[in-house]
């Protein structure tokens, strides 16, 4: 099958081609899918996309008009795809339902440790031969109360690491995870978790009920010296409210791997022209904030699993099958 892959990172490209080149014709592009780049997919039955591609009704119509039949997204999230429009157009849509939860959980902890111990500032100073300790005072993770919002596979991995540090665990989710209970986690109401936790990490999907789950009211409940980590979806956090909270001198650390308006910014080099997003520009000026560009999933293990699942999704489509990754099944006559 002829496949056009959009938004392929340079480190991802050789892995993608090694998986597909044997039985398929793969062309990979670094550009992301949008209305301007959709015509490039003409005559490609399958298109593979990343989470920062735009698959609204207009883009999907362009793909369908060009002969595309399958959208194979290389991510778990799919809030960038208009599934109703895809179904109306007869497009099959598949995603990657899961990959290494350790990749995301470990990156979340990397962010937590970095902002707690001021590692970004320390590294910058060392490169300038400034070896003072002023402003680098952190806290022991051991003994902290850690709140985990969302205790699925990734939240459980995050909790296991927290347990290893010797923390007290609080959890919030629609259902309790027995593995987290075995770690000593206590499930509480969200407001109580926010008020009691020294460190809070978000591991829920972006749904209407979770959009801005951390808003101004939630931030007001948190301790003044709390640490907030988000490696899940940018829309979970009201960034404008977060900036206002930081402006008032609250929160000792914020680590974000995602941002609610990241499309068109993350995965691009904006170092020369800068960005027009005033909220993000203000956010990164706070010394206790660390932003990474949606890289929590980006390990050899996780990317390999994502590619393997994408191959299976495409081959199942060719064979007329659907699997647990199918979001919109193949249209039947």
CA distance 194 to 221: 6
294, 300, 312, 318: the active-site residue: 294
Helix, coil or strand: residue 106? helix
CB contact at 8 A, 72 and 49: yes
Active site residue 294: yes
- CA dist 227 and 198 (Å) reads 6
β 92-94/326-328 pair status: antiparallel
CA distance 53 to 234: 15
Which one from 262, 273, 282, 318 is the annotated catalytic residue?
Answer: 262
Catalytic one of 74, 95, 121, 233:
233
Residues contacting 52, CB < 8 A, separation 6+: 7, 32, 80, 262, 263, 264, 266, 267, 294
In angstroms, how far is CA 191 from the centroid of its own chain?
24
Q: Residue 298: left (phi > 0), alpha (psi -120 to 50), or beta?
A: beta
The neighbour count for residue 48, using CB atoms within 10 Å, is 28
List, in sequence order, the alpha helices (H) in the chain: 13-20, 57-65, 83-89, 101-116, 119-127, 153-165, 178-182, 190-196, 216-221, 239-247, 278-283, 300-318
Half-sphere exposure for 13 (CA within 13 Å, toward CB): 11
Contact 259, 295 (CB under 8 A): no
Query: Which residues are designated catalytic?
Result: 233, 262, 294
């Amino acid at each position: 099958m002829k496949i056009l892959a959009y938004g392929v990172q340079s480190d991802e490209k050789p892995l993608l081609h090694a998986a597909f080149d044997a039985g398929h014709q793969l062309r990979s592009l670094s550009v992301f899918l949008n209305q301007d780049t959709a015509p490039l997919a003409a005559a490609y039955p399958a298109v593979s996309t990343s989470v920062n591609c735009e698959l609204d009704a207009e883009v999907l119509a362009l793909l369908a008009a060009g002969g595309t039949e399958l959208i194979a997204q290389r991510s778990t999230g799919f809030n960038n795809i208009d599934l109703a429009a895809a179904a109306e157009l007869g497009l099959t849509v598949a995603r990657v339902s899961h990959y290494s939860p350790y990749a995301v959980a470990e990156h979340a902890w990397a962010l937590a440790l970095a902002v707690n111990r001021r590692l970004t500032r320390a590294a910058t100073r060392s490169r300038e031969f400034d070896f003072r300790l002023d402003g680098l005072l952190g806290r022991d993770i051991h003994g902290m109360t850690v709140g985990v919002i969302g205790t699925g596979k990734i939240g459980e991995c995050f909790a296991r690491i927290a347990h290893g540090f010797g923390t007290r665990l609080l959890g919030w989710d629609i259902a309790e995870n027995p593995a987290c209970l075995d770690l000593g986690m206590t499930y509480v109401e969200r407001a109580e978790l926010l008020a009691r936790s020294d460190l809070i990490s978000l591991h829920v999907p972006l749904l209407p009920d979770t959009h801005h789950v951390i808003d101004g009211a939630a931030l007001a409940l948190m301790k003044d010296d709390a640490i907030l980590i988000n490696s899940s979806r940018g829309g979970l956090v009201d960034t404008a409210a977060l900036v206002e909270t930081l402006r008032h001198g609250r929160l000792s650390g914020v680590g974000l791997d995602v941002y609610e308006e990241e499309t068109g910014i993350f995965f691009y080099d904006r170092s020369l022209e800068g960005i027009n997003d005033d909220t993000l520009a203000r956010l990164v000026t706070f010394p206790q904030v660390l932003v990474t560009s949606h890289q929590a999933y980006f390990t050899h293990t996780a990317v390999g699993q994502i590619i393997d699942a994408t191959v299976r999704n495409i081959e199942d489509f060719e064979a007329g099958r659907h699997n647990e990754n199918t979001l919109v099944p193949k249209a039947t006559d």
